[in-house]
Amino acid sequence: MATNGKTGDGHRNGAVRDRSQFQHPDNGHWYKRDTNSGQIIDVNKGGQPHKGVRKEK
């Protein structure tokens, strides 16, 4: 997992590991997936991707 720096600095230090995300083509939601198990972890319904998580191709 990514580490966080000082409180209030507004960014992560490093990338989130063992996670990827993809956008569902029908509804436009972003889904976060655990790359080890393949299970869906979280859904971001706001139309914006998760921060610091790599995108699947």
Give me Rg for the CA atoms of the chain: 12
Task: Output the pLDDT for position 27.
Answer: 95
User: What would the pLDDT profile of 12-53 be if each residue is shown by its tens digit?
Assistant: 777 788 999 999 999 999 999 999 999 999 999 999 999 889
pTM of the full predicted structure? 0.73
β pairing state of 12-13 and 3-4:
antiparallel
Domain ranges of the chain: 16-55
Separation of alpha carbons 55 and 19, rounded Å = 9
**β-strands 54-55, 3-4: how paired?**
unpaired
Q: What is the CA 40 to chain-centroid distance, rounded?
A: 11
